[in-house]
A = this chain, B = another copy of it.
Amino acid sequence: MDFKTKTGTSSKNDIQVYGFNLTEDLVGNITLADMAFLGAKHRKPTENESKMLNALLVAICEHGFTPSSISTRLTYLGAPEAVQASIASGLLGAGTVYLGAMENVAELLQTTYQKHGDNKDTCEMAATVLKEQNEAGLQIPGFGHPVHKPKDPRTTKLFEIAGDLGFYGKHSKLLTEIHRQFCVLKGKTITLNAVGAIGAIMADMDMDYRIVKSFAVASRAVGLVAHVVEEIETGRKEGAGQQIFDYVESHTNYEVIDR
């Protein structure tokens, strides 16, 4: 055999996914989000892990109009026959600017514990992180929000659920303490945003920081379904895609280059 995978395979009478029989073990027993967990950890989530993951992914699934969802709608205008292309178009903006912080927070927290071990107290560790980031000229990811000030309601809710389900662990605690000290240093309350909270909780769920962003991308794909649906429901002319384009077209000043 030339190639190998643990993901899945099919034979005449059954389908295997990560060592499970798809129809006997998974279909009807687990949620869609659990399939992503299965891909990441190669085991089924516990009930609490499933609840936590679904909560995290629900929290970042829908944001109304965003650059991504507008892109999905504009793409739908030109290619209504290919909804997969509309959804893909919206996913393509899920890069460093909006979602990168999720990965960066998980990375910062995980590498901090790898580097300094588990024995320092959280307060001292947080001070170290702030000092190291400052010396390196780096910002702390996961802080600040243009709308939700001084609190992001998703952060509050997700940390609360994490506490109830047993995932408010050392990474979440460290981020909370970094945030507390950061606000003292700044002399004002800066938002600890949802993307930061999710990065910390995923670290506490023992998800490698390198795969954290993939979960967010999958959640976005689910959220973009609603935008395709709304374009279909409103019809082409009344749809937001066409309306936004019409507005831009009729309110653009073409700057002539003088030659």
A-side residues, CB < 8 A to B, are 1-19, 22-24, 26-28, 30-36, 38-40, 42, 51, 54-55, 57-59, 61-71, 74-89, 91-99, 147-149, 151, 153-154, 156-158, 161, 208, 210-211, 213-215, 217-230, 232, 240-241, 243-245, 247-249, 251-259
Residues of B within 8 A of A6 (CB): 230, 254-257
Q: Are A85 and B83 interface neighbours, CB within 8 A?
A: no
Assuming the A-B contacts A27-B157, A241-B67, are A94 and B89 also in contact, with contact meaning beta carbons closer than 8 angstroms in the complex?
no
Residues of B within 8 A of A12 (CB): 147-149
- Count the copies: 4
Q: Are A67 and B62 interface neighbours, CB within 8 A?
A: no
Residues of B within 8 A of A97 (CB): 77-80
Q: Nearest B residue to A246 by beta-carbon distance?
A: B2
29 CB < 8 A contacts A-B: A3-B65, A5-B230, A7-B65, A7-B226, A17-B62, A22-B59, A23-B154, A30-B58, A32-B58, A39-B230, A68-B74, A70-B70, A70-B74, A70-B245, A77-B97, A78-B92, A79-B84, A79-B94, A83-B213, A83-B217, A84-B92, A84-B217, A87-B218, A88-B91, A91-B221, A211-B229, A214-B229, A244-B244, A244-B248
Q: Nearest B residue to A78 by beta-carbon distance?
A: B93
Q: Nearest B residue to A257 by beta-carbon distance?
A: B19
Complex Cα distance, B16 from A65, in Å, reads 12
Q: Are A240 and B4 interface neighbours, CB within 8 A?
A: yes
**Shortest beta-carbon distance from A228 to chain B in Å:** 5
Q: Are B81 and A81 interface neighbours, CB within 8 A?
A: yes
Q: Which of B8, B55, B226, B230 is in CB contact (< 8 Å) with A64?
A: B8
**Shortest beta-carbon distance from A98 to chain B in Å:** 5
Complex Cα distance, B30 from A33, in Å, reads 11
